[in-house]
Amino acid sequence: MISKTRQGIRGTAVTAALALSLGGTACADLVVPNFNDPSVEDLTTNPTVNSVVAAAQNLMSTARGNTASRVLYLGIWGREAYDLRPEEPRTTTNRLIGPLDPVNGGAFWGYSSLKNIQVLLDAVDAVDAIAEPDKNAIRGFAKTVAAQSLWNIIIMHTTFGAALEPPADPGDELSPIVTEDQVYARIFQLLDEAQTHLSSAGNSFPFGLTAGYSGFSSPADFIRLNRALKARYHKYRGEWSEAMSALSGSFLNRFGDLEYGLYHNYSTNPGDASNPFFSVASHYAHPRFLAEAQMKPDGTPDGRATGKTEVQAQVFSLLGIDVTERFVIYTKQDSPLPWVRNEELLLLRAEVLLASGMRQDAVREINIIRTAYGLSPFEDPGSDGPVLDEILYNKFMSLALEGGFTYFDARQYGRTDQLPRARSDHVVFLQLPFPQNECLARPELGTGRDQPCGTIYGN
């Protein structure tokens, strides 16, 4: 048994090895193996074509979870939304007041996903019956999701750094905590390796894909998603030339459907996951969504404000917060959740162009979005500041409840002090502490104020 003081990422690996299901939801008994639900042990000791394919297919669930985990958590941090629960005030107090410590603030530490992906990659190598093009398709898909999983960790822990991977065996020494730069180097390495694998794959993936992957169902097409993610990650590093290069290989289309992209699917079938942001009584739109909406020429608000929210008959008040609007973005239990859309890529390109000294080109990208929602074209003001303001306004309106981008943008541009506060004690957190188990396993980490295993008070 591993002692409490030596758990952390190693403990995550133990949990994965003992309890994780990588496939479907059918039940297994003590005699007959469940080929629809391969365990980590199955993939490690006796991988088969069926178990590898099932595990690869389950990566769609991993990718969906990585995205969904950020939507409301960072929607609150970025003042897109509130989660006001009379029976559970911590969804508000922890995220807007704090302070955060490893016990109540440790989140976004998804090393079980990284462990599972490494087990899958080892299993792919071990099964001779899988053709090499199919192996490359799985490797490319898996490494793309691994990069997303690692980005989820570092984007929330930033300067604290992170470990690059869980140990190969639960009994091994913990992987060291490395710098933020080193983590990003690994993320981009994974994405580039994935691109190489996908380029050497066959014409299709050897596992089924949901309808949300329409248009990205071949390895060659999936590269465009891989490049879109790389552009997003470089953008938040302020690496503008690298972001532009990645965008050129993505599915960005200046004349295409803004909604086009890759989506995570949910289901109404019993036992399947339904969209967690559909019809939740406690979820409200932040009042600034309607309050800050620009006006169309006819005097009505920006079409995104009226199309994504609806006004309630009565004001709801809790913990000093007053709200009247709910989001209507996800209108059904099986409403899909975007992974990346063309609209985001266009707005990313506008940011990159502006940062690269091409302000007028950035304005042209902005106006593709504005005119789609009935707003008048934005006129070049002759300086960069107002153009950046306009880009961030459009990102807020276009990408609300899609992954925390309003918060990430405010943090990147040093604008967190501009995020509204309903109460004087509301703060903005710039990163999360490490989770408790990780801190117990790493006594060398700092436990003081605003340190990895200390208390985070926010600004």
Side chain identity at residue 103, one-letter code: V
Q: What angle do CA 429, 435, 436 make, to 5 degrees?
A: 125
Residue range 81-95: mean pLDDT, rounded: 94
Output the pLDDT for position 300: 96
Taking CA atoms, 170 is separated from 1, 69, 121, 122, in Å, by 10, 26, 18, 16
Q: Is the pLDDT of residue 13 over 50?
A: no
**Cβ atoms < 10 Å from Cβ of 291:** 11
Share of the chain above pLDDT 70, in %: 91
**Cβ atoms < 10 Å from Cβ of 319:** 15
Per residue in 387-428, pLDDT tens? Answer: 999 999 999 999 999 999 999 999 999 999 999 999 999 999
Per residue in 202-234, pLDDT tens? Answer: 999 999 999 999 999 999 999 999 999 999 999
CB 52 within 8 A of CB 120: yes
The residues near 42 (Cβ < 8 Å, ≥ 6 apart) are 33, 48, 51
Output the pLDDT for position 38: 57
Per residue in 312-348, pLDDT tens? Answer: 999 999 999 999 999 999 999 999 999 999 999 999 9
Q: What is 4-275+333-441's CATH number, 3.40.50.920, 1.10.10.60, 2.40.160.20, 1.25.40.390?
A: 1.25.40.390
State the residue for tokens 């009935």: 374
Could you give the CA distance from residue 220 to residue 222 in angstroms, rounded to a whole number? 6
Could you give the CA distance from residue 133 to residue 146 in angstroms, rounded to a whole number? 20
Output the pLDDT for position 29: 32
pLDDT-based confidence at residue 84 (cuts at 50, 70, 90): very high
State the residue for tokens 């703060």: 427
Side chain identity at residue 181, one-letter code: D
Per residue in 110-127, pLDDT tens? Answer: 999 999 999 999 999 999
